[in-house]
Amino acid sequence: MAFHSKLEQAYLAQRPRLLRFLIARGAGDAAEDLLQELWLRLAGAGDPEAAAHPAYMLRAADRLMIDRFRSRRQEVLREQAWSEVQPGLVEDIAPAPDAERSLAARQHFAAVERALAALGARPAAIFRRHRIEGVAQRAIAAEFGVSLSTVESDLRRAYAALADLRRTLDEA
């Protein structure tokens, strides 16, 4: 335990220097996280007495940055390789769906619109305001001039209608 205590004291004394070192090496916002990772490496070192030396700590921080650089480089290479084999993939934009999938999506959307329209104008509008636009139920109640329980009831009706539609589509 005395070795660990000596290591911890040495680490805490060198911490500001190690932080500056990591930032200077390009760690940026990740410097604090890298310091934590460095501490875990130092604490797990086979020889805590050697790990307590400032030169050892700086070398361990340097190796940590090298590992980080290599990891990032491999990530970029992996992403490039993956994007090269994806048809139509351009700068984080997925390829357009094929014609069959587009047609099915339009048909499902039309079925959802019909199911909501069958409930009436208010329940359909309340559903859209809450689920699509993210407006709170209380605000919707005030906007439509109805009680909160009416909003909840309309939402339950819309959810039930959409659940029925989904079962119908799944069976088809």
Reported as a single tens digit per residue, the pLDDT across 103-127 is 989 999 999 999 999 999 999 999 9
pLDDT at position 64 = 92
Q: 35-49, pLDDT tens digit by residue? A: 999 999 998 888 888
- pLDDT > 90: percent of the chain: 64
pLDDT at position 133 = 93
Tell me the three state secondary structure of residue 90: strand
| Count of CB atoms situated within 10 Å of the CB of 35 | 19
Q: Categorize the per-residue pLDDT at 29 as very low, low, confident or very high, splitting at 50, 70 and 90.
A: confident
Q: Categorize the per-residue pLDDT at 87 as very low, low, confident or very high, splitting at 50, 70 and 90.
A: low
pLDDT at position 4 = 57
DSSP character at residue 26: T
Q: 125-150, pLDDT tens digit by residue? A: 999 999 999 999 999 999 999 999 99
Instruction: List Cα–Cα distances, 31 to 27, 52, 89, 111, in angstroms.
Output: 5, 20, 33, 52
Q: Categorize the per-residue pLDDT at 94 as very low, low, confident or very high, splitting at 50, 70 and 90.
A: low
CB under 8 Å, gap of 24 or more: what pairs does 159-166 form?
161/115, 161/116, 161/118, 161/119, 162/112, 162/115, 162/116, 164/115, 165/111, 165/112, 165/115
Instruction: List Cα–Cα distances, 63 to 12, 53, 79, 80, 125, in angstroms.
Output: 19, 16, 24, 26, 58
Using the predicted structure, report yes or no on whether residue 1 has a pLDDT greater than 50: no
